């Protein structure tokens, strides 16, 4: 913490040559941490918050692990250790399993990715003539029982979100959703129309985006119409007719997403604004 060659050399002396440390750390927690410099072990008494103790150890560059910490609340201690393990484990999953799929989407010009995590034993068998609805065909499938078990815990999903945010990704969603694997039966509707009933399994999904101009992507881009001075009434009348003809043959270009999201009254007025 103080040595010139240390990785965490972020402490600097003041004008008197003194080092000011433990800013924001309570006296009780700091007194508990001082045991480490005597015995190499921190005995955490009851009433001390394990997350606060963890932050203090990180600040003072003390390893927070089972060889260093002794406390009565094993649940809180193991929770912090699990967060450390989940962070490292998801870093590995991200590089080895998830990133290659994201790169594949990026090479197709996509700027977001929706991945469904299936187990190694799952199989997907869709009817080519009657695929499942709701756009599942745009989801990427990742077969990994290990990642499936990892996402089973909501705490791990929170850690994964933190890692993805640290890596600069946006619009991150991680959860559990139903995914169609195979058809169960076919129903015949009146008129001879067939409806395929699929079997759905609950599986984790992860969705993220790396779009830089997401606000501009939904911008309404109207075509500009030429305008002229109204000094001549006859010329003005001809311009009105000409502008109407332009609008009839070249309607304004409106983003389809904005058409769907805008209220009907607003859409009617905006679509024909020049």
pTM higher than 0.85, yes or no? no
Give residue 228's pLDDT: 46
Where b means 16+ CB within 10 Å and e means fewer, 119-132 reads eeebeeebeeeeeb
pLDDT digits (tens, 9 = 90+) for 11-30: 667 777 777 776 778 888 88
Tell me the average pLDDT across 103-132: 87
On whether the CB atoms of residues 179 and 200 are closer than 8 A, the answer is: yes
CA 143 – CA 66 distance, rounded (Å): 34
Dihedral through CA 150, CA 57, CA 1, CA 37, nearest 10? Answer: -130
Instruction: Please name the residue that has the structure tokens 């020049």.
Output: 274
**pLDDT of 9 over the 60 cut:** no
CA 216 to chain centroid, in Å, comes to 20
- What confidence tier does 247 reach under pLDDT thresholds 50, 70, 90? very low
Tell me the average pLDDT across 185-209: 81
On whether the CB atoms of residues 141 and 116 are closer than 8 A, the answer is: yes
Give residue 148's pLDDT: 95
**Percentage, residues of the chain above pLDDT 90:** 37
**pLDDT of 60 over the 90 cut:** no
CA 270 – CA 264 distance, rounded (Å): 10
Cα–Cα–Cα angle for 214, 107, 117, rounded to 5 degrees: 80
Alpha helices in 108-232 (DSSP H): 145-150, 154-166, 214-217
**pLDDT of 262 over the 80 cut:** no
Cα-based distances in Å from 248 to 128, 205, 237, 242: 41, 45, 17, 10
Which of 5-19, 179-193, 194-208 has the lowest average pLDDT?
5-19
CA 208 – CA 190 distance, rounded (Å): 41
Short-list 103, 121, 132, 112, CA closest to 205? 112
Give residue 5's pLDDT: 54
Beta bridge partners of 65: none
């Amino acid at each position: 913490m103080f040595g010139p060659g240390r990785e965490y050399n972020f402490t600097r002396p003041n004008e008197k040559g003194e080092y000011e440390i433990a800013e924001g750390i309570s006296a009780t927690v700091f007194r508990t941490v001082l045991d480490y410099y005597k015995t190499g072990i921190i005995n955490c008494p009851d009433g001390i918050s394990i997350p606060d103790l963890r932050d203090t150890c990180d600040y003072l560059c003390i390893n927070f692990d089972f060889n260093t910490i002794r406390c009565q609340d094993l649940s809180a201690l193991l929770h912090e250790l699990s967060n450390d393990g989940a962070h490292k484990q998801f870093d590995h999953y991200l590089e080895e399993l998830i990133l290659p799929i994201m790169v594949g989407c990026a090479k197709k010009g996509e700027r977001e990715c929706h991945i469904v995590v299936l187990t190694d034993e799952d199989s997907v068998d869709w009817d080519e003539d009657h695929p499942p609805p709701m756009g599942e065909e745009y989801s990427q499938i990742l077969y990994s029982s290990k990642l499936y078990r990892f996402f089973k815990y909501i705490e791990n999903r929170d850690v994964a979100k933190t890692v993805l945010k640290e890596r600069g990704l946006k619009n991150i969603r991680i959860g559990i959703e139903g995914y169609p694997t195979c058809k169960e039966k076919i129903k015949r509707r009146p008129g001879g129309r067939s409806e395929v009933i699929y079997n759905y399994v609950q599986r984790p999904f992860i969705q993220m985006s790396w779009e830089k101009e997401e606000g501009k992507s939904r911008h309404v881009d109207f075509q500009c119409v030429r305008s002229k001075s109204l000094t001549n009434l006859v010329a003005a009348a001809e311009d009105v007719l000409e502008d109407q003809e332009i609008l009839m043959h070249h309607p304004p270009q409106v983003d389809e997403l904005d058409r769907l999201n805008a209220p009907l009254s607003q859409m009617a007025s905006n679509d024909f604004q020049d």
